[in-house]
Amino acid sequence: MKLAKSYFADQRKDDLKELGQGLQRSDVPGHVTGKTSYFADRHFPGMLYLKMVRSPHDHARIRKIDTSEAEKHPGVARVITHKDVPHNVYTILILIQVGPEDEQVLAEDKVRWKGEAVVAVLADSQRAAEEAAAKVKIDYEVLPAVLDIEEALKPGAPLVNEYHGQNYYMYDSGASRKVRFGDVEKGFAEADHILEQTYFSSPIEQAPTETTGCIVTPDGNDRFTCYTNTQAMFFTLDNTSIILQMPGHKLHMVGGTVGGGFGGKVDVTVEPIAILAAKLTGRPVSFIYSRHEEMQISSPRAAEKIVLKDGVMNDGRIVARQVWGYTDAGAYSRHSPYGAQKGAAHYPGPYTIPNVWVDTWCVYTNRTPSSAMRGFGVTIADFALEVQMDKLARLIGMDPLEFRFINAYRDGDMKAHRQETTGAALIECMQEASRLADWPVAEKYLQMSSYKGS
Amino acid sequence: MAIRRGRGVAAINYPTGMNLGGDPSQALVHSTPTGNFMVTLSSVDLGQGLKQVMAQICAETIGVKTEQVIIDTADTDTGPHCMGTFASRGTHRIGNAVIQAAQEARQVMLEVAAEALEVNASDLDTDGEGNIHVKGAPQKSISIFDTALMAHFKLGRSISGRGMFLVPRSYPEVETGAMKPSTCYAHACTVADVDVDDETGEVTVVSVKNVFEIGRALNPKMVEQQLVGGSWMVISHALYETTEPYYPARDHGGSDFNEYLMPGPGDLAETEIVVLERPAADGPYGAKGPGEMCANPQIPALANAIFDAVGVRIDMMPITPERILRALKEQRSA
């Protein structure tokens, strides 16, 4: 890695002592010698292991849950169903007033995705828990499922989530988060060329080295300590407090070094049920996802569909950009309504375009709930935007890098969401890329600057 | 049939912090009796090195060596509230809270030293080596060790500080979408070179040249690990990864690292990184969030390079050999 100090030198004082130094991380010797401890390194006498019984169907009505055989299995301490959960319907972002509550901690009347939690079995050993879980009998009536964005938005599509009432999230702005800037129709009318293209992505795993999990101990004073690898201690504490209807002062969350988190561990999926289990049994409880669960149950990055329509002039100026963005939330909101509207704020990318029209949707399907992941709301948008930029440049016979210089935003430019651009540095990044990769561009682009009035 | 070389470019910006703000973080700082400093947080270190960068920020602000700062974090009984480690918010939000707490502690420390040296606190400065001295008269000084002892055992003063950072929440305007998603943006431009085998559809990423602008590189070595790791992670996203290879069909979903397709060590591209620093007006010592932005421009740069190599557009991620071959077949039959 090289620090290119010649750029923006007038905005920077290089007088730092401790910062700006590539000091070795104090935790690294522990990591590389195997001495760092993680939440799962703790062991407590009498600990119970939680195994979750999950839906084998994408969408089904639950007719009956029979746990009698499982309860008789040797080593089983307790079986937990929705009846044991004080506030069984939750949504994580209710803490910042993004509702409605739309997800059951343990499924009650319906399952809406393959893998949804229905019954929790607690036993003396992992093996006994798994054997007993296999004895839980659930009678399902299979329902038609919707598995992608386009199917979900068709008229007459099966309803995924009754708490929403339709297969998309309803914002205060309606079925989508909207950005309206200038007049795209006027822009298209003036354009020399119009290009409309559709982009897709499929979900991906978070794939952290350390799977999602927690270990809970009842502390004997009516408090519970939860050793967890959550990415957000108080998100977990406050959501647990709501779900278990337990005052926050009874909860103590202890984190530490986490073995990788890319957004999936901002979900609150293991702690509430493990703390409930510790409360009901009075014993320490371990609930740790297997690798199979981490891959198949924890939230992936959302699938997206993005339609971009651009009007471009022969001289390289983009005069209108229209965007329809769709995020596949899966069966429940989790963080997806927030991610979809992060996308609305991100378009039209780092370019100054006079006419912009954006609609982003958060769509419900009978898929594994997606959630936050590194680049949430932006990464797939950038794939679509920057492939589109390449197509537009070729359409008008222009070098793709020079085409970006022509449209790049600079300090003082008004963005589509009506914030003035400050601190821009796109032009300088492209100048350095041109030099680094020996990608020639005309001298006038190398003389450009992000500074206002330059 | 041949191996064809192609080159593609992409440029992006990326917002620092939780979208629309409203995501506070707090920090507390206090000195021990011998002048070491404890930073108390409830923030989570995901392995990216949050504790190290917070220690350096605190040390820089107070004027001590980084090794004298201990980070106590991720415990809700002791640490004040933090929204969490996500959305490229750690360095920016928590760093600002640590600065505020450390500034308050530093002020008390200087007041105690001023009493010992019989001068005004405003006339004092730190040397970064563990001493406090009168500006312009370095011989008139007291060690931070002795200052902390004096505060504890003679003056009965707590050398401590509280820090809080909040970007006020923005609510999007319903009709126009007018809103303030972020206070600062990182930037990047990537040039990717690929070889595409037009017989098998296989893509070899020959090199990835990344230019990132991240405000300030507070610890350049840690910035490098983040930027290189992010670059590799997202090459995997572009070319390999999917929960179901025939999405939206739910079959063949991987359930362990044998089945879930990712590149191996032999597939890693030659990676070059250049960092530009345009300080963010509200960043801790000018820093923006490098966590997520580094894993974006490579995907479209690779897609554009593949088109440059073989003339087919794959507009669905991941860009697998199968999709490339099918597109090539269609191209040849057209």
Q: How many CB atoms lie within 10 A of CB A345?
A: 26
Q: What residues of B are in contact with residue A436 (Cβ under 8 Å)?
A: 191, 209, 211, 272, 274
Q: Is position A153 within any domain?
A: no
Q: In what order do the strands lie in the sheet with B131-134?
A: B124-126, B131-134, B137-143
Q: Does the beta-carbon distance from B47 to A432 stay under 8 Å?
A: no
Cis bond upstream, residue B248 (ω within 30): yes
Whether residue B316 sits in one domain with residue B240: yes
Q: Which residue of B has its CA nearest to A28?
A: B49
Q: Is position B55 within any domain?
A: yes
What residue type is assigned to position A380 of the chain?
Answer: I
Q: Does the beta-carbon distance from B256 to A295 stay under 8 Å?
A: yes
CB B121, CB B107: distance < 8 Å? yes
Whether residue B49 sits in one domain with residue B8: no
Whether residue B107 sits in one domain with residue B49: yes
Indicate if the pLDDT at residue B74 is higher than 80. Answer: yes
Q: Which of B115, B131, B165 is at the close of a domain?
A: B165
Residue B88 token pair: 């490229």
For strand B270-276 and strand B203-213, is the pairing parallel, antiparallel, or unpaired?
parallel
C-alpha–C-alpha distance, residues B123 and B132, integer Å: 10
C-alpha–C-alpha distance, residues A299 and A372, integer Å: 8
Whether residue B242 sits in one domain with residue B112: no
Whether residue B29 sits in one domain with residue B10: no
Question: How many residues in total does chain A contain?
Answer: 454
Is the Cα dihedral A160, A166, A171, A172 positive or negative? negative
Q: Which of A296, A321, A337 is at the close of a domain?
A: A296
Domain count, chain B: 2
Whether residue B302 sits in one domain with residue B256: yes
Q: Does the beta-carbon distance from A12 to B285 stay under 8 Å?
A: no
Q: Does the beta-carbon distance from A173 to B57 stay under 8 Å?
A: no
CB B165, CB A403: distance < 8 Å? no
Whether residue A83 sits in one domain with residue A45: yes
Q: Is position B227 within any domain?
A: yes
- pLDDT > 90 in chain B, percent: 95
Phi, psi of A5 (to 5 degrees): -75, -10
Whether residue A199 sits in one domain with residue A211: no
Q: Does the beta-carbon distance from B179 to A423 stay under 8 Å?
A: no
Cis bond upstream, residue B15 (ω within 30): no
Geometric angle at alpha carbon B166, from B161 and B171, rounded to 5°: 165
C-alpha–C-alpha distance, residues B55 and A223, integer Å: 32
Q: Which of B137, B165, B193 is at the close of a domain?
A: B165
Q: What pLDDT shows up at residue A256?
A: 83
Whether residue A190 sits in one domain with residue A101: no
Pick from A200, A358, A386: CB nearest B297:
A386
Whether residue A93 sits in one domain with residue A80: yes
Range of the structural domain that residue A257 is part of: 41-143+207-296
Q: Which residue of A has its CA nearest to B314?
A: A199
Range of the structural domain that residue B319 is part of: 3-16+183-333
Report which secondary-structure segment, H or E, holds B98: helix B95-117
CA distance A72 to chain B (A): 31
Q: What pLDDT shows up at residue B79?
A: 98
Q: Is position A34 within any domain?
A: no
Report which secondary-structure segment, H or E, holds A117: strand A117-123
Q: Does the beta-carbon distance from B250 to A58 stay under 8 Å?
A: yes
Whether residue A314 sits in one domain with residue A420: yes
For residue B307, what is the domain's CATH number?
A: 3.30.365.10
Q: What pLDDT shows up at residue B265?
A: 87
Whether residue B66 sits in one domain with residue B189: no
Q: Which residue of B has its CA nearest to A1?
A: B273
Report which secondary-structure segment, H or E, holds A406: helix A400-407
- Mean pLDDT of all residues in chain B? 97
Whether residue A268 sits in one domain with residue A401: no
Q: What pLDDT shows up at residue B268?
A: 87
CB A425, CB A433: distance < 8 Å? no
pLDDT, tens digit, for every residue of B215-236? 999 999 999 999 999 999 999 9
Q: Does the beta-carbon distance from B250 to A349 stay under 8 Å?
A: no
At which residue do the structure tokens 């009493």 appear? B115
Whether residue B187 sits in one domain with residue B160: no
For residue A84, what is the domain's CATH number?
A: 3.90.1170.50
Q: What residues of B are in contact with residue A232 (Cβ under 8 Å)?
A: 44, 82-86
Whether residue B153 sits in one domain with residue B117: yes
Q: Does the beta-carbon distance from B300 to A172 stay under 8 Å?
A: no
Q: Does the beta-carbon distance from A260 to B47 stay under 8 Å?
A: yes
Give the residues of chain A that fall short of pLDDT 50: none
Residue A197 at interface with chain B, using a CB cutoff of 8 Å:
yes
Question: In this complex, how many residue pairs, one in chain A and one in chain B, have their CB atoms less than 8 Å apart?
Answer: 400
Secondary structure letter of residue B153 according to DSSP: I
CA distance A68 to chain B (A): 30
CA distance A95 to chain B (A): 11
Pick from A27, A180, A376: CB nearest B51:
A27
Q: Is position B170 within any domain?
A: no
Q: Is position A335 within any domain?
A: yes
What is the mean predicted confidence (pLDDT) over B202-209? 98
Residue B78 token pair: 């002791």
Whether residue A191 sits in one domain with residue A76: no
Whether residue B316 sits in one domain with residue B190: yes
Residue B203 token pair: 């893509």
Q: Is position A341 within any domain?
A: yes
CA distance B273 to chain A (A): 5
Whether residue A236 sits in one domain with residue A194: no
Q: Is position A29 within any domain?
A: no
Q: What residues of A are in contact with residue B280 (Cβ under 8 Å)?
A: 423
At which residue do the structure tokens 């400050």 appear? A422
CB A404, CB A388: distance < 8 Å? no
Whether residue B189 sits in one domain with residue B292: yes
Q: What pLDDT shows up at residue B1?
A: 83
Q: What residues of A are in contact with residue B309 (Cβ under 8 Å)?
A: none
For strand A193-201 and strand B316-317, is the pairing parallel, antiparallel, or unpaired?
parallel
What residue type is assigned to position A356 of the chain?
Answer: V
State the alpha helices, DSSP H only, in B151-243: 220-239
CA distances from A32 to A36, A212, B55, B226, B316 (A): 8, 21, 20, 17, 38
C-alpha–C-alpha distance, residues A411 and A426, integer Å: 10
Q: Which of B138, B165, B192 is at the close of a domain?
A: B165
Geometric angle at alpha carbon B53, from A426 and A92, rounded to 5°: 80
Q: Does the beta-carbon distance from B84 to A234 stay under 8 Å?
A: yes
Closest CA to A290 of A126, A174, A437, A86: A126
Pick from A26, A204, A256: CB nearest B52:
A26
Whether residue A375 sits in one domain with residue A276: no
What does the H/E/C string look like for A211-263?
CCEEEEEECCCCCEEEEECCCCHHHHHHHHHHHHCCCHHHEEEECCECCCCCC
Q: Which residue of B has its CA nearest to A253?
A: B76
CA distances from B294 to A115, A202, A399, B232 (A): 32, 21, 24, 10
Q: Is position B175 within any domain?
A: no
pLDDT, tens digit, for every residue of B20-32? 999 999 999 999 9
Q: Is position B177 within any domain?
A: no
Q: Which of B58, B211, B299 to mutate to test the interface with A (most CBs of A within 10 A)?
A: B211
Q: Which of A279, A296, A313 is at the close of a domain?
A: A296
Contact partners, residue B127, CB within 8 Å, separation at least 6: B63, B133, B138, B141
Give the global pTM. 0.97
Geometric angle at alpha carbon A375, from B264 and A306, rounded to 5°: 100
Whether residue B235 sits in one domain with residue B124: no
Q: Is position B133 within any domain?
A: yes
Domain count, chain A: 2
DSSP, residue by residue, B52-96: HHHHHHHHHHHTS-GGGEEEE-SBTTTSPPB--S-TT-IIIIIHH
ipTM of the complex: 0.97
Q: Does the beta-carbon distance from B313 to A424 stay under 8 Å?
A: no
Indicate if the pLDDT at residue B68 is higher than 90. Answer: yes
CB A107, CB A55: distance < 8 Å? yes
Residue A449 token pair: 């600057």
Dihedral-angle region of residue A375 (phi above 0 means left; psi in -120 to 50 means alpha; beta otherwise): left
Whether residue A334 sits in one domain with residue A433: yes
What is the mean predicted confidence (pLDDT) over B250-256? 91
Torsion angle defined by CA atoms of residues A227, A233, A236 and A240, in that order, rounded to the nearest 10 degrees: 70
User: What radius of gyration do chain A's Cα atoms show?
Assistant: 26
State the alpha helices, DSSP H only, in B118-210: 144-150
Whether residue A311 sits in one domain with residue A289: no
For residue A405, what is the domain's CATH number?
A: 3.30.365.10
Q: Which of A296, A312, A341 is at the close of a domain?
A: A296
Q: Does the beta-carbon distance from B299 to A383 stay under 8 Å?
A: yes
CB A48, CB A77: distance < 8 Å? yes
CA distances from A18 to A257, B102, B159, B214 (A): 23, 14, 21, 18
CB A91, CB A138: distance < 8 Å? no
Whether residue A312 sits in one domain with residue A430: yes
CB A261, CB B46: distance < 8 Å? yes
